[in-house]
Structures are given as C-alpha cells and as structure tokens.
Amino acid sequence: MSALRIEIFPDDLDLAASFYSEVLEFDVVRDERTEASPYLVLQRGDVRVGAAERASLNTRPRRPPIGVELVLEVHDLAAARRRVEETAWPIDEDVTSRPWGLEDFRLLDPFGYYWRITDRQPRPRHAQHDEGRP
C-alpha cells in the first residue's frame, strides 16, 4: 500500500487551521502551534496535510502550469462547493466539466496553494450527453 501526504509551509498556522478545517473540512489531528517548531497535521479521510510554520518570504507558490496543483477527490462535489460558498471563501474557477469526464472547481488557500476539488468518478457518458456535455 502507498500513501501520499503533503507538507506546506504557511506563515500563519492559525489561519491554516481555520482554512483547512472550516473551508475544506479537514480535522486537526496534531496541533503543535505552541511548540518551538510550530506544526499542524490536518486530515480528511486518507488525505494528510502537514503544515510547518515558516516566516513569510513575500512569495507564494506558483500556479499551474508552473506550480503544483493539489487535488482533493470528494464524494459529493455539490456539497463541497456549497461548503466553500457558505464560508464565503473565493472560488478561483467554478464547477467545470472536464474533457476527461470529471467535474471540479478550483481555489487558492490563504498562502497561494492551488487546490482542485473534484469528483471521484467520471459521470457516465449518457449523463454527460443528457446534460448538454459532449
């Protein structure tokens, strides 16, 4: 079995905890914000995000195609979209049907990391066609 976890380097762990728990519905599973080397672990299902606090360099990660796109697969894309809307977090690109059969929306976290929130499974071809999709 393989697993992937990512590490981000925000300059504000309180803001990171707030965004990831309130907007993307991660749980804080390890909280060391008061330690000498502040650190958080956030988890949603099998997805783990480590956040190691670093001083701001006044730069942000670069958006694709040069930077990294972080992809979160969800069971209910509409519910995930509503959740983001309820928090009033800005959506960078609203729900879009992709040529590969999935739908997604995209946003930037407070530190500039680019997230794609997507379906887990492609829609059946007939459902795509019935809704005006190719």
Tens digit of pLDDT for each residue in 106-132? Answer: 999 999 999 999 998 877 665 544 444
For residues 50 and 14, membership in a common domain is answered with: yes
- Which of 9, 24, 54 is at the close of a domain? 54
Among 10, 27, 54, residue at a domain's last position: 54
CA 125/CA 13 separation, integer angstroms: 43
Residues 121, 105 share a domain: yes
Report the number of distinct structural domains present in the chain. Answer: 2
Which domain, by its residues, includes 19?
Answer: 1-54
Residues 40 and 79 in one domain: no
What is the per-residue pLDDT for 125? 62
DSSP the chain: ----EEEE--S-HHHHHHIIIIIS--EEEEE-TTSSS-EEEEEETTEEEEEE-----S--PPPTTTS-EEEEEES-HHHHHHHHHHHTPPPSEEEEE-TTS-EEEEEE-TTS-EEEEEESSPPPHHHHHHTT--
Under 8 Å between Cβ of 124 and 102: no
Task: Please state whether beta strands 5-8 and 47-52 pair in parallel, antiparallel, or not at all (unpaired).
Answer: parallel
State pLDDT tens for residues 70-83: 999 999 999 999 99
Decide which of 19 and 63 is more confident.
19
My answer on whether 50 and 73 are in the same domain is no
What is the CATH classification number for the domain harbouring 110?
A: 3.30.720.110
- 21 alpha-carbon distance from chain centroid: 11
Same domain, 100 and 127: yes
Q: Are residues 88 and 33 in the same domain?
A: no
Residue 12's CATH number: 3.10.180.10
Residues 66, 101 share a domain: yes
Interatomic CA distance for residues 93 and 104, integer angstroms: 9
